[in-house]
């Protein structure tokens, strides 16, 4: 309870479960999300993130348990619950033959907004998402990033208290993804509640007030990004940059006695391929000679090796026992209308 006696809980999951035959897709999720939070559901593809959102927004019925949005049960008061939410799905819910502006007007009509408010609200949101100059163009003519931005504007048309974003930056170019994250931060600054699913660890770290890590339908842990990083605070992390002939380096480095976990990110630095690998190690003084020795045996060139502070990715590896590489595989993109 707040100091004034009000309950800050906006979303409450109570044993929320979804089964598809013998497959347990979402496993008895229970948690509370407060007003003004940007809450992240972080996990690899197939963890149950989209299924969870589909139940919360009324697109799929729970097999067991329930949830409440602003006190309205999603099973028994779905219409009332939907009145408080906006949804940015993982695939387009807008109409290709309509213009950007007309799609927003149609959304306003669906939510019963007064006609006198349509033009002003649509114009404001089109400017916010950088599409005002293209407002009269057909939605089908928009790029993927523009389509995603208009989907956000449509979800916000009725000024909802809670907005659900399902992997919003998947498949977007860098500029579009940056703009979308900025919009989410603006909603947070306005005191709105955001429920976000993502498999991008860096995105969750940047945006979220709290994070739940979801693995195979079950929540492993819920905490702030800073608190999650504390789980790896006592660990040592080596960042090793290798150049050339390192296709199996990650797998081979994992076999070293001093290495407890590993993740990798690739980049191109002309004229040669470079690979940066992060190793969670028991002791720096034991790990460095082992890494250097393996590099010499395999003929790898070490461009750089140094210790770094543990990141949220390192905490994810430690807490879940999963390879962070599985988080870098994007969800297959489905076509938009």
| pLDDT tens-place string over residues 79-99 | 999 989 999 987 888 999 999
Which run of H or E residues covers position 241? Answer: strand 236-243
Local confidence band at 232 (pLDDT 50, 70, 90 cut-offs): low
Residue 247 scores a pLDDT above 50 = yes
Mean pLDDT, residues 169-177:
82
More confident residue, 50 or 329: 50
Looking at residue 234, what is its pLDDT?
61
Looking at residue 8, what is its pLDDT?
87
Looking at residue 6, what is its pLDDT?
57
CA distance 31 to 23: 22
User: Cα-Cα-Cα-Cα dihedral of 175, 178, 179, 180, to 10°?
Assistant: 120
- pTM for the model: 0.78
121 to 146, 157, 307: CA distances (angstroms): 18, 7, 50
Local confidence band at 174 (pLDDT 50, 70, 90 cut-offs): confident
Give me the domains of the chain, ranges plus CATH numbers.
Answer: 9-225 (3.40.50.300), 235-309 (3.30.70.1340)
- The phi, psi pair for 175, rounded to 5°, reads -65, -45
Local confidence band at 335 (pLDDT 50, 70, 90 cut-offs): very low
Handedness of CA 107, 112, 118, 121 (dihedral sign): negative
Local confidence band at 265 (pLDDT 50, 70, 90 cut-offs): low
Residue 173 scores a pLDDT above 50 = yes
Mean pLDDT, residues 3-19:
84
User: Residues with Cβ < 8 Å from 77, sequence gap 6 or more?
Assistant: none
Residue 322 scores a pLDDT above 80 = no
What is the tens place of the pLDDT at every residue in 291-308? 999 999 988 889 899 888
Residue 152 scores a pLDDT above 60 = yes
On average, the pLDDT of the chain sits at 87
Mean pLDDT, residues 317-330:
68
């Amino acid at each position: 309870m707040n100091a004034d006696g009000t309950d800050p809980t906006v979303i409450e999951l109570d044993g929320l479960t979804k089964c598809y035959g013998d497959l347990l897709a979402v496993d008895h999720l229970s948690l509370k999300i407060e007003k003004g939070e940007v809450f992240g559901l972080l996990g690899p593809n197939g963890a149950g993130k989209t299924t969870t959102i589909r139940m919360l927004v009324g697109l799929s019925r729970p097999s067991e348990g329930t949830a409440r949005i602003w006190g309205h049960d999603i099973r028994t008061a779905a219409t009332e619950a939907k009145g408080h939410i906006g949804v940015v799905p993982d695939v387009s819910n807008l109409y290709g033959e309509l213009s950007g502006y007309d799609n927003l007007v149609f959304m306003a009509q669906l939510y019963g907004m007064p006609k006198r408010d349509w033009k002003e609200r649509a114009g404001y949101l089109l400017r916010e998402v950088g599409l005002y100059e293209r407002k009269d163009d057909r939605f089908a003519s928009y790029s993927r990033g523009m389509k995603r931005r208009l989907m956000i504007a449509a979800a916000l048309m009725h000024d909802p208290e809670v907005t659900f974003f399902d992997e919003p930056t998947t498949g977007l170019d860098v500029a579009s993804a940056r703009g979308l994250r900025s919009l989410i931060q603006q909603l947070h600054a306005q005191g709105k509640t955001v429920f976000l699913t993502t498999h991008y660890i860096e995105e969750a770290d940047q945006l979220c007030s709290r994070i739940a890590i979801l693995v195979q339908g079950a929540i492993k842990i819920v905490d702030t990004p800073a608190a999650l990083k504390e789980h790896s605070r006592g660990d040592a992390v080596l960042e090793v940059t290798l150049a050339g002939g390192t296709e199996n380096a990650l797998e081979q480095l994992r076999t070293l006695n001093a290495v407890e976990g590993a993740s990798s990110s690739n980049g191109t630095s002309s004229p040669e391929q470079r690979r940066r690998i992060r190793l969670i190690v028991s002791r720096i003084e034991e790990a460095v000679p082992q890494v250097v020795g393996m590099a010499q045996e395999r003929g790898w060139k070490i461009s750089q090796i140094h210790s770094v502070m543990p990141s949220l990715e390192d905490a994810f590896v430690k807490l879940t026992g999963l390879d962070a590489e599985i988080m870098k595989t994007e969800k297959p993109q489905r076509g938009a209308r």
